Every structure is written in structure tokens, then in C-alpha cells.
A and B are shown apart, each in its own frame.
Chain A
Amino acid sequence: MSSVFSFQAVSDGIVMNFRSGSTFGSIKEAVSLHASQASDFFNGVNLYLNLSGLELAFEQLQSLMEIVQNYNRVNKIYFTAKEIKSENKETVPKSEAVIINRTLRSGQMVKNQANVVIVGDVNPGAEVIAGGDIIVFGRLRGVVHAGAGGNEAAQVAALRLDPTQLRIASFIARSPDDNHSSDLDPERAFIKNDSIMVEKI
């Protein structure tokens, strides 16, 4: 992620923080690039632009607004100047994860900017999308997308890896048609040499 801005998840959306003192030119360039690559990740999300520490002319603000609207299907865009407290400076650190303590059933979806850990099964028809890794302490039978922002280092691990479809960054794989047994057999999937590899843990 660019060092000009960073993201921070809040209860009802995502805050976009800008490094104080960044020039408008660098912000414009970095955000346009990110928005064009973000695909549908911001679908239905409220986006808060934290402008504290920035000095923008009115025209620059207008131009910034136009750029952030390029985030596909973003819900509402707000401006804020509040200092949002966070223990970590890096807002999507590798260690951050949302933990779901239940089974995801058909029709249910979990979406997170960072990592997702599910303690339970992911049933067929359920969907998990994460900017980082996806770990399932249970049977994974639904659709998962790790590294949804384009992070090819993301991985998917499950006690039983039998997804309907498994996506990492822009790569897609599906489970073999045979062997849908329900025995636990921990495996993880990751990208190597431009394809999705699966190995036992």
C-alpha cells in the first residue's frame, strides 16, 4: 500500500488517512492508482476521508472527491478531520484480523480489509473476502477470496480445504471434483509461480 495514505477500519466503514504534509500531486496519483485497482472491494462501504494534517484548496478538494468516487460502488463518502486513535501506526498491519466465532451458512458473507479467522465451518453458498489471509478452523466449502486488494502473498488455510471456489488476488482455483470427504486434513493454499498451490500443513 502507498505510504501517502493508509486505511483504517471503523465500525461502519473505512477511514482513509493521509500522511500529513503530503503534496496534493502525490495524493492524487496514489489514490487514482489505488481506486483503479480496488475492484469491488469497497462495495457498500462508507468511506471517511481524514483530511487532518492536509492543506487543500477548494479545487483540490473537488478533484479529490471525483477521484474517490472511482472506488466501485462505495456507499457514502464523508470528510473528517478527527484524529482517529489507533494503537498501530500501520493501519492494516499483518497481525490484524477479524475473528468470526460461528459457522458461516449459505448466503452469509464476511468481508474485511485485513485478515479473517473463522472458528467454525464455511458452508457452501457462504462467502469470505479478505484483504489478507483467510484461516478457517473448520471445513471450508464456500467461496473464499484472500488478498482481494491484489495481495499475492495472501494465503488460505483450513482444517478441511474443500472450497467451491478459491481466489487469491487475481487467481482462481476450484476443488477437484472427487474427494469431498469430510475428514479433517489441514491444508493451505498460496500463490507460487503464478498459480495457486495447495500443501498440507
Chain B
Amino acid sequence: MAALPKRIVKETERLMAEPHVVPGISAVPHEDNLRYFDVKIHGPSQSPYEAGIFKLELFLPDDYPMTPPKIRFLTKIYHPNIDKLGRICLDVLKSNWSPALQIRTILLSIQALLGAPNPDDPLANDVAQRWKEDEPAAIQTAREWTRQYAKA
């Protein structure tokens, strides 16, 4: 494997050095593959995901930062924009990606997504449907899933 680009090195260093600057987010690269990160995101407060810690996997492709990182929830989550395979529907991870974005900013976006589900642009259609029809029930389910799967 080619040498790690300076950008990745720098991003990694910063992620490791300042875990407290961005509360509720952490990303740790695998020792055998520095492009592969174990990510943990705390569910935002005042959201159904509060108190949950969600695990994600993040992979930086070869042409990163030209292409966005590949990222996926490992923890089961009940969310209209996240499907059951953990794939995330987020514009900055697709068409709106910009090389000026970073791992940290992407993770923050995901955290924000947890706080503001958008059922109008769904990935998990059944969840979105329920969210629209009976939001309190949907939120309740999300809480339960969080308690059940995202225990600290």
C-alpha cells in the first residue's frame, strides 16, 4: 500500500489529539489499516438516541479526499435515513461531498442527522412511513432500540 497521504495522517492525528473538543465523537484507525476507522458517536441529547453510543465503521478510499469516505452504522439504529444495513443517507456523503470536508465534519453531520431525522428523504422506507404516520410511536421505538442495542 502506498504511503498514507499527509491529509489522512493529519486528520488522524487531530482526531486522536482532541477527542474532547468534539464531545461524543471518536474515531480510531485500525493499526493494520490506517484507512479503516472504528467510530463511535454518542446520540445527541434530547433525541431518541440520547445516551446511546453508536458504532460505525469508516473507510477512506484510495482517492480520498476526492471521493467521500465510506461509512456505515454497525450498531442497529431505528432512523428513517439509515437502513438496516447501517447505510446512511446524507448528501455530504454523496453528491454534496467536497474534499474540504473531513472525517470529523462528516461525523458531526451524522450526529446532527441523528438529532434531526428527515423522513422526507428516506432510506429505510418502513421507518420513514411510521415516522410520518405516528411520530411518537416511532420515537418510542427508536428509544427502545437505543436502549437495546446502543448500551454504553
A pairs with B: no
Q: Which A residues form the contact surface with B (CB < 8 A)? A: none
